[in-house]
Structure 1
């Protein structure tokens, strides 16, 4: 077997992990190797030859080292993961595959203790049926059969709530054309804020300001804001998106963060000053594209504000105050 054969099989295994709906953090080398070991698929074999291995964690790691020796795994010994990696293999690769219905634990003794040295894992029958068809004309059909019994883990983890979405609008009743935004990650996030955050958390809200990186603004409604008691300082830095949620009479001030600018204590003070005359209560939201980006700024987020993450769009993170998603100058 050649290194190229090993790399090709691993690349295919990673594609399978994505197709069966594994979260992004499990679409990695370690989980791909676990998949190959459990299905006993060597680099020289085709997916149609996928079978069933019954392995403990140590035996699984030994199998990886034996059959995929040219794939770097550890610093001291590139051919294998270090013994202290057992828990990472178990918790971050094997257990998610169990939750996804790809692997079965202890089919001979389901009540075996977690720390029992006799714990063993093997592929589920429905997973073998699907994965053995990878690359064939029946792959899509077999994948549908698998998902008819096993929901995608990425969807299970998201705990998607069923929501009634109502688009946000412009003061004249028209819709917001986010196609006018300049290309790039920041504009992608602003688009998500308007189309997904807005329709869910401020349904039927009115977009009164929408900034852009390429031009000064896409939506700017100073007269509407003036009716709400806001006289915008032309030298003040507006948030990326401002939505008037009339049902609650809130002004939702949203910063879309891809590199800088979360609602920290300083920015919160600036926004309070900028919107000091507002009749509606002020709600402060920082929006991110991913959890990873949120983690970069988590320590900076001001208390009594909200965080929305595009990849987990039906949930928000509440930085503790006396209420959830609401202004703090109102009893409502």
Structure 2
């Protein structure tokens, strides 16, 4: 299981339908999400409601009403399969939903899309027309075996075996993104310092994600030169490297973003702003940082605004405050970035070979 295992109960933006469910139903949904995550289904970019709907659809496909049913999940061998309308009826009856029967196409196109692509849910008629109302869905037998191991002493071994014997959807999608390639110097000490001095709030956790997830992917061996926040301006500062790069003395009047890093391999400076509730790198902010960077001898500057999730990114995107010619990184989908322009990267991309 990854460190980003979805837990709806712990999310700040839980949908009202989830809150209205019984604790047992909430537990069952979260448990299914954990197993789907272990089976390599990439869930990090989905909204809270979509996570819930995906879990519910898969639960229906295995005739699972509680976590206790994981051990007896049904598959094709049990002659069990549900059509999309049957799935809606199952969810409504057993999980207190009120999904319209007319939403059957959402089950296929949205709720079951990733589980089917990832091979945890099987279609009864692969060659049938996509809209064929007789097509049913059921759990894959090997995924059902993984479900049966959930909560037992053999869970870790079962997850390891499943990952070794299957090509996980997460791994099939990962080549399109950027994997971690370097280890950031002093990362562990910096993270410990952030947690000890700043605490574990959303903004501070985003700073941690920048150091442990963003820079190993995009930093080209970058060295962290500065970490700060509104409450602690100079949590960490490498005055020696700043001086070597030609910067003037960094003082409290110097308006630095939350994280500054430097790649000697590229001779690039990274200005990274962690945004939870306060501003991204705006056009005015970028101009000020450009003026600061001109005093150095770096070859180029990378301006990055980091967000915890896509929802927060969407809020600031609609406000039109993110500067052009800057980058956006979203922690819940760490292997991809958004470039705020088009011409620089315009061109065909490698297509995904989907079975």
Q: Report the TM-score when normalising by structure 2.
A: 0.73
Distance (Å, rounded) in 1 between the aligned partners of 2:128 and 2:181? 44
Alignment partner of 1:219 is 2:236? yes
**Contact 2:180 / 2:217 at 8 angstroms: preserved in 1?**
yes
Which of 22, 36, 39 is matched with 2:62 structurally?
A: 39
**Greater RCO, CA 8 A, separation 6+:** 2
Contact 2:227–2:237 (8 Å) recurs in 1 = yes
Decide whether the 8 Å contact of 2:184 with 2:223 is kept in 1: no
For normalisation by structure 1, the TM-score amounts to 0.77
Matched residue count: 306
Aligned-partner Cα distance in 1 for 2:103–2:138: 20
1:29–1:320 distance in 2 versus 1, CA, 3 Å? closer
CA distance in 2, matches of 1:248, 1:143: 39
Could you list the per-position Cα deviations for residues 20-70 of structure 1 after superposition, in whole angstroms to 9, with x for gaps in the alignment? 31415387443333223221245697443322321211122123334x1xx
For 1:36 and 1:196, locate their aligned partners in 2 and report how far apart those are by CA, in whole Å.
32
Change (3 A) 1:266 1:72: farther
Q: Which residue of 2 aligns with 1:61?
A: 88
Q: How does 1:97-246 map to 2 (within 5 A)?
A: 97-106=115-124, 109-136=125-152, 138-154=154-170, 156-159=172-175, 161-168=178-185, 177-181=190-194, 182-183=198-199, 184-222=201-239, 224-231=241-248, 232=250, 234-246=252-264
| Corresponding residue number in structure 2 for 1:77 | none
Structure 1 alignment gaps of length 5 or more: 75-80, 325-332
Greater helix share, structure number: 2
User: In structure 1, how many angstroms separate the alpha carbons of the residues matched to 2:289 and 2:67?
Assistant: 62
Residues 167 and 203 in structure 1, CA contact (< 8 A), matched pair in contact too: no
Identify the residue that residue 296 of structure 1 maps to in structure 2.
315
Pick from 102, 107, 110 the counterpart of residue 84 of structure 1: 102
Q: 1:42 to 1:314 in 2, by over 3 A?
A: closer
Q: 1:179/1:87 Cα in 2 relative to 1: closer, same or farther (>3 Å)?
A: same
- In 2: Cα distance, 1:41 partner to 1:140 partner: 22
> How has the CA–CA distance of structure 1 residues 16 and 155 changed in structure 2, closer, same or farther, with 3 Å as cutoff?
farther
Q: Distance in 2 between matches of 1:141 and 1:9?
A: 27
Confirm or deny: 8 A CA contact 1:5 1:44 kept in the other structure: no
Select the structure of larger CA radius of gyration. Answer: 1
- Given that 2:35 and 2:146 are in contact with CA atoms closer than 8 Å, whether structure 1 keeps it comes out as no
Q: Is the 8 A contact 1:166 1:203 kept in 2?
A: no
Question: 1:213: how far off?
Answer: 4.1
